[in-house]
Amino acid sequence: MSSPSRKELEQELAALQRRCRELRIPVLIIFEGLSAAGKGTLINSLILPMDPRGFKVSVIREPNDEERMRPFLWRFWRRTPSADKMAIFDRSWYRILLEQDVSGELSEEARYKAYADIRAFERQFHDSGTVIVKFHLHISKEEQARRLKELKADETTKWRVTEDVLARHKRYDVYVPAIERMLNETNHPDVPWEIIVAEDVEAASLTTLSRLIKHLNSRVQHIEEGTHEASPTKKKYLPFYTNAPKLADADLTNALEVDTYIELLEDRQQRIKALQNEIYRRRIPIVIVYEGQDAAGKGGNIRRLCQRMDPRGYEVIPVAAPNDVELAHHYLWRFWSEFPKAGHFTIFDRSWYGRVLVERIEGFCSKTDWRRAYKEINEMEENFYHFGSVLIKFWIQIDKTEQMKRFRAREQNPRKRWKLNEEDWRNRDKWDDYAEATQEMIDRTHTAYAPWTIIEGNCKKHARIQALDTVIDAITERLNKT
Amino acid sequence: MSSPSRKELEQELAALQRRCRELRIPVLIIFEGLSAAGKGTLINSLILPMDPRGFKVSVIREPNDEERMRPFLWRFWRRTPSADKMAIFDRSWYRILLEQDVSGELSEEARYKAYADIRAFERQFHDSGTVIVKFHLHISKEEQARRLKELKADETTKWRVTEDVLARHKRYDVYVPAIERMLNETNHPDVPWEIIVAEDVEAASLTTLSRLIKHLNSRVQHIEEGTHEASPTKKKYLPFYTNAPKLADADLTNALEVDTYIELLEDRQQRIKALQNEIYRRRIPIVIVYEGQDAAGKGGNIRRLCQRMDPRGYEVIPVAAPNDVELAHHYLWRFWSEFPKAGHFTIFDRSWYGRVLVERIEGFCSKTDWRRAYKEINEMEENFYHFGSVLIKFWIQIDKTEQMKRFRAREQNPRKRWKLNEEDWRNRDKWDDYAEATQEMIDRTHTAYAPWTIIEGNCKKHARIQALDTVIDAITERLNKT
């Protein structure tokens, strides 16, 4: 049997693209390879037969100012595909890593860490249903020399053969082992590398087309036959931190008199203001998460935290139900996007923990999904930590009687009535479910780098000072460390 | 009667914020002012009483790499508010202009042009229903000196008093006339400046609160009473270009034989490839718009244009109905966002012209809206042109018989059947309405800097070569100019 023609492959790819879109399968394709290996030509031959509504090509160069102020993976997270799209990367998260490895900038430990981060990143997308296909284009040193010479001879392309490109060509023999390491470290069966020998461009292009078709076909078939399963989380992989604080231990009788409160508040706010200047100067990003029952006092608490702060340096991100663009992405996508610039605060009024709270309880995601989320969240927070962030997570605890008191007060105050809705009453009915989910959340995500603090919330004044003190301590500790 | 207390003002603002959100009024607030005038404190006192779900503060510093590669207003467009939000700018589009004016970098002509662009930008938002409030904070030179000294004396703030800040302080007397010019040039009754004397911070904060309340109140009342009117477009302001090409003049019998076509195609694609290298090297952005009836052959035409191009340098943006995030913004917002980086191509498969085609005919926007759009579109394209872009706009014309032939062919081809849907048939029924709207669109937007080309589309081969030739000519002309 003869192999299919280019035309047949192109038509099959175009049909598969439409099918993936109908089935809402996000697809992530990356191209890595040596200079002049023909990535551009290959990518073009891949996208031309497809519907441009369905893909987006991202070209990865050096990070820009904005990107340098965020964790390494931030700019890739932002470009990950939604459920109706293919994201095609011309170079990817491997690029900088490889360059640093070759130049010897990367310590053994940093390399280990970086590959672990990348494996976690790819696994998270695979687990959420994204098809990931990774192409590496290989050419021999001789062929590379020949192509660079050809580019140089042409008036319109000679500017492409920069000093950098030539320097990389000279170090060809250093690149090869670094690339092999890269392939070995990240060649997981779920997200395999496809090595394309690209000496003959036409043959390489046909191989690329058929390999991609193979991967897409396999997923489409599994889904159509109902044999595709989301990766389940095995019990033993569920994280658990024995030193996690317990809701039951919160002493909700703790309270503050108004005079003491005013005095402490003034003092703490001044200290926060000074710390804000200091972390800005030292380019440390601060992430603060507020979670808590309805009417726990999150909004008022956040307001006291920010009252003396410079608005140029903080942002409050209120987290509600995702909009349709957000829904079409990985559930962590919108939180990655909001990660603060180095030197800034981002305060989340509710957060990614919605996955293991409201989404779990209301059944907005499957049990597999929310059980997997603990580890994914820990990994995301670890990424933030490795970038140098301070992470502070608050659960504001109130008791059921106090909540009722506050609901009633809202009902009676025409200025506050809008704050109370039917959902609040429905959530109240599920008080015990929330308590259970909350304790499990704390137990499974109370890491050393992003610990939880339970705020005793029955007395708002006490709660505010407790939160301010926690923020001051966490930032001060970080400032003293380096 | 005593003036309202801060607490009362804050409560009123919070209530107005909610009301604006319910009424889907986008709000855009900017703060300009001298160094140490207290913008931070004032902005904070404004946002603290509000619901953080409803606003976003943007701090405008020097443009970053990404932003420098785009027209001046690009980064502001991207941050304009959606219908459920307030966008608060700490410094704004006036910042760079003012700095350049003071440093003498700005020619008389450039200043004139920049203020015209800003007036058009603000008018477009006002006309689409956005409330714009512009605050300028003023302090005396003596007060500025005092505050800088205070900042310098404090260990945690002294780093803020940079060389730059001191240099600006020294040039206080140069800033004042430049600021006055800025205020005068852009103090339109629809988008007035509010000058706040900020010597006393508390008083300034109260004034800011009440002025903002006044503006929001006035809009809310007008809408509630049904007396708010979208700005109508007066007949005489409708642009019209007498040299615009006519649909009726297109010779649809023009055709190419397959042999000639293949030869020409190969030649033109090679030339485009060389031009792509050249415009990349010279950092010229290229914007190409494809419009045309259903089955006019836009997709195939675009594919031939891109076939030999390097995918790193072009992007095809297919334009469908806006998603909910896009719908909540100004209709030009999503197109501004997609503007190419300097040195890249962006090819729009349908475009902003949807406003005066499908939206007009289907009644998705009001008559006032689409009539106003001609001028708004010309202004946007002029912005692109002033940044150095080449703008190429294609209308692919086919006749009704040819369209029917293609519809039938699609029906019969199982690989193409998905391309045809009921909407296509419905649009066909409105052939004459579309023809009328199309001719008016061409007549009103055929500017010297962004002219239309009518592609004779009955023969696809002819149409592709005609489009390629037009692109080659337009780019070559631009390259020869500078």
Residue A374 has pLDDT above 60, yes or no: yes
Please check whether residue A120 touches B, CB under 8 A. Answer: no
Stretch among A52-66, A460-474, B331-345 having the lowest mean pLDDT: A52-66
Predicted local confidence at residue B324, as pLDDT: 86
pLDDT in tens, B39-85: 999 999 999 889 887 888 999 988 988 899 999 899 999 999 989 88
Looking at CATH, the fold of the domain delimited by B6-224 is given as: Rossmann fold (3.40.50)
Please check whether residue B300 touches A, CB under 8 A. Answer: no
Contact A277 B156 (CB under 8 A): yes
Predicted local confidence at residue A66, as pLDDT: 85
Name the band, by pLDDT with cuts 50, 70 and 90, for residue B257. very high
Q: Which residue of B47, B160, B415 is in closest CB contact with A311?
A: B47
Predicted local confidence at residue A51, as pLDDT: 86
Which residue do the tokens 């009362």 mark? B8
| Common-topology check for domains B6-224 and B235-481 | yes
Interface probe for B, chosen from A17, A65, A161 (most Cβ of B below 10 Å), is A65
Stretch among A45-59, A451-465, B379-393 having the lowest mean pLDDT: A45-59
Looking at CATH, the fold of the domain delimited by A235-481 is given as: Rossmann fold (3.40.50)
Residue B307 has pLDDT above 70, yes or no: yes
Which amino acid appears at position A38 of this protein? G
Contact A57 B312 (CB under 8 A): yes
Contact A64 B59 (CB under 8 A): no
Contact B278 A418 (CB under 8 A): no
Residue B342 has pLDDT above 90, yes or no: yes
> Helices A172-185 and A108-127: crossing angle, nearest 10°?
50
Contacts with B218 (C-beta within 8 Å, 6 or more apart), sequence order: none
Which amino acid appears at position B409 of this protein? A
Predicted local confidence at residue B459, as pLDDT: 98
Distance from CA of B54 to the nearest CA of A (A): 9
Per CB-CB distance under 8 Å, the chain B contacts of A12 are none
Q: Quick one: what percent of chain B has pLDDT higher than 70?
A: 98
Give the mean model confidence (pLDDT) for residues A328-353.
95
Contact A318 B52 (CB under 8 A): yes
Give the mean model confidence (pLDDT) for residues A22-45.
93
Q: Which residue of B15, B48, B274 is in closest CB contact with A303?
A: B48
Predicted local confidence at residue A235, as pLDDT: 63
Residue A482 has pLDDT above 80, yes or no: no
Joined tokens for residue A407: 């609901």
Domain limits, chain A: 6-224, 235-481
Name the band, by pLDDT with cuts 50, 70 and 90, for residue A64. confident
Q: ipTM more than 0.85?
A: no
Per CB-CB distance under 8 Å, the chain A contacts of B271 are none
Predicted local confidence at residue A74, as pLDDT: 94
Residue B1 has pLDDT above 60, yes or no: no
Contact A312 B157 (CB under 8 A): no
Return the residue of B nearest to A38 by Cα: B310
Q: Which residue of A47, A278, A318 is in closest CB contact with B53?
A: A318
Give the whole-angstrom CA distance, residue A286 versus residue B482. 48
Q: What is the mean pLDDT of chain B?
A: 93
Q: Which residue of A18, A311, A318 is in closest CB contact with B44?
A: A311
In B, residues 9-38, which contact A (CB 8 Å cutoff)? 11, 14-15, 18
Predicted local confidence at residue A160, as pLDDT: 87
pLDDT in tens, A131-175: 999 999 999 999 999 999 999 999 888 888 999 999 999 999 999
Residue B232 has pLDDT above 80, yes or no: no
Return the residue of A nearest to B281 by Cα: A159
Residue A358 has pLDDT above 60, yes or no: yes
Return the residue of A nearest to B14 by Cα: A415
Give the mean model confidence (pLDDT) for residues A382-391.
94
Task: Evaluate if pTM is beyond 0.90.
Answer: no
B350 and B291 Cβ atoms separated by less than 8 Å: yes
Name the band, by pLDDT with cuts 50, 70 and 90, for residue B230. low
Question: Where would I find the beta strands (DSSP E) of A297-451?
Answer: 314-318, 345-349, 390-397
Predicted local confidence at residue B51, as pLDDT: 86
In B, residues 237-296, which contact A (CB 8 Å cutoff)? 273-274, 277-278, 281
Interface probe for B, chosen from A42, A53, A419, A421 (most Cβ of B below 10 Å), is A53
Return the residue of A nearest to B46 by Cα: A311
Q: Which residue of B44, B64, B310 is in closest CB contact with A40?
A: B310
Name the band, by pLDDT with cuts 50, 70 and 90, for residue B418. confident
Predicted local confidence at residue A189, as pLDDT: 86
Residue B97 has pLDDT above 80, yes or no: yes
